[in-house]
Amino acid sequence: MQTQLQPNIIFTNSSSKELKRIAEKVVNNMRIKEEECLFLFEKAELGFLGTLANIVREQKNGNNTYFNRNFHIEPTNICINHCKFCSYRRRVGQEGSWEYSIEDIENIVKKYVNKPVTEVHIVGGVHPKRDLYYYGDMIKKIKSILPNIHVKAFTAAELDFMIKKSGLTIKQGLIKLKEFGLDSIPGGGAEIFDETIRKEICPDKTSSQQWLKIHETAHSLNILSNATILYGHIENYSHRINHMSRLRTLQDKTHGFNSFIPLKFRRENNEMSYLSEVSVIEDLRNYAISRIYLDNFNHIKAYWPMIGKDITQLSLSFGVDDIDGTIDDTTKIYSMAGAQEQNPTLSVNEIVKLIKDTNRIPVERDTLYNTIKKY
């Protein structure tokens, strides 16, 4: 059953007073509670949310909007998991499957020699036969070709499997991967933390608790990471808030998350295609409330290949301060699920124009948000 996500935006006098009270807390850098966050989801008009989120965004990052020069490597889409929302997964030997060899990976990376890329983003399926040492060798090969590249690699689900397959603890495995050259980890695999929803949409995936443990352990080793949420399927607002609350609690403890990235459920070519996708209004509402609620996250990212360039521009007025990177048409995860951008690539000049057209300041960054150049 699909959850009704359309909010009631007819204000009573009491709701207006409550919204004003919440707004005063946010403007004064006071943390809002879960029940106040739910009130915003259910009662606040979109314009109100955008205004409030923009205040937070500008308090943290001014008018800056960040991007980087990056490319993706997706080593395989063969996966042991059976996530119902996934349009990407294939079985061994199934039509449409791929599994790159180390030589294949080397050939991809060689295309970027003498190009000013700063990050390679590596995620893929949880392959049943590949362990930590296979991927460690991959990282070493990449860095032998591009010594200065930042390797942001492997979701918690991938890490969980490859480390266990190698007979190591999570901490031992992450130490080993860091020795191989792993610099940070992405935020994928979080999906939605609520255990009941998770059991329904990705029953055999790494658990919520394990996802959080892996990221906490990584942070303790100075391996920073991102965090995501998959929204707009069978979850409700309370599930989203619970998800963000767990992330906020961990961030209080470790300060190891760079950014939060809301990921929109896309319905094409998967087992949840019977659901409708949520509206652009809901996308913007979700960005804004993420920015308001996650007071200890410095950055909220809109992943432009998922929502398209036009909505990405709109999101910059709803709390978003980062739009990811150049991509160079190197990812298939969202295009296979029907995302608007089927061949995602933007030049630096195109990204700069996209940002400037919204009266924001384009800032090229590295993975850890050190400024490379302001435009």
Range of the domain at 181: 51-368
- Residue 155 within any structural domain of the chain: yes
Alpha-carbon span 134 to 237, nearest angstrom: 40
Whether the Cβ atoms of residue 346 and residue 327 lie closer than 8 Å to each other: yes
Residue 248 Cα distances to 33, 34, 50, 56, 226, angstroms? 11, 11, 21, 16, 12
- Same domain? For 335 and 266 the reply is yes
Evaluated on CA atoms 115, 118, 120, 121, the torsion sign reads negative
- 2: pLDDT confidence band, cut at 50, 70 and 90? very low
Instruction: Please tell me the predicted confidence (pLDDT) of residue 333.
Output: 56
119 within a domain of the structure (yes/no): yes
Between 8 and 98, the higher pLDDT residue: 98
Which pLDDT score is estimated for 211? 98
Residue 333 near residue 306 (C-beta atoms within 8 A)? no
Q: How many domains does one find in the chain? A: 2
Q: What are the pLDDT digits (tens) for 187-240?
A: 999 999 999 999 999 999 999 999 999 999 999 999 999 999 999 999 999 999
- What distance lies between CA 128 and its chain's CA centroid? 24
Q: Do 149 and 196 lie in a common domain?
A: yes
Domain co-membership, 20 together with 63: no
Residues 33 and 56 in one domain: no
Q: Are residues 26 and 77 in the same domain?
A: no
Q: Do 64 and 114 form a contact (C-beta atoms < 8 A)?
A: no
Do 18 and 159 fall into the same domain?
Answer: no
Strand positions, DSSP E, the chain: 64-68, 70-73, 119-122, 150-153, 184-185, 224-231, 257-264, 299-300, 322-325, 361-365, 371-374
Any domain includes 8: no
* CATH code for position 163: 3.20.20.70
Indicate whether 23 and 154 sit together in one domain: no
Backbone angles phi, psi at 300, to 5 degrees: -115, 125
Same domain, 36 and 64: no
Within-domain flag for 116: yes
Q: Which amino acid is at 341?
A: E
Report if residue 5 sits inside a domain.
no
Statement to judge: residues 24 and 90 lie in one domain: no
**Domain membership flag for residue 6:** no
Does 7 reside within a domain?
no
Could you tell me what percent of the chain has a pLDDT over 90? 85
Average pLDDT, the chain: 92
> 9-23, 58-72, 186-200, 348-362: lowest mean pLDDT where?
9-23
pLDDT band with cut points at 50, 70 and 90 for residue 11: very low
pLDDT (tens digit, 9 = 90+) per residue, 340-353?
A: 555 667 899 999 99
Rounded to two decimals, the pTM is 0.93
Which of 81-90, 128-137, 220-229 comes out lowest in average pLDDT? 81-90
Q: Check residue 10 and give its pLDDT.
A: 43
Q: What is the mean pLDDT of residues 65-83?
A: 95
Instruction: Tell me: do 31 and 150 sit in the same domain.
Output: no
270 in any annotated domain: yes
Same domain, yes or no, for 30 and 167?
no
Residue 149 three-state SS: coil
Do 17 and 59 fall within a single domain?
no
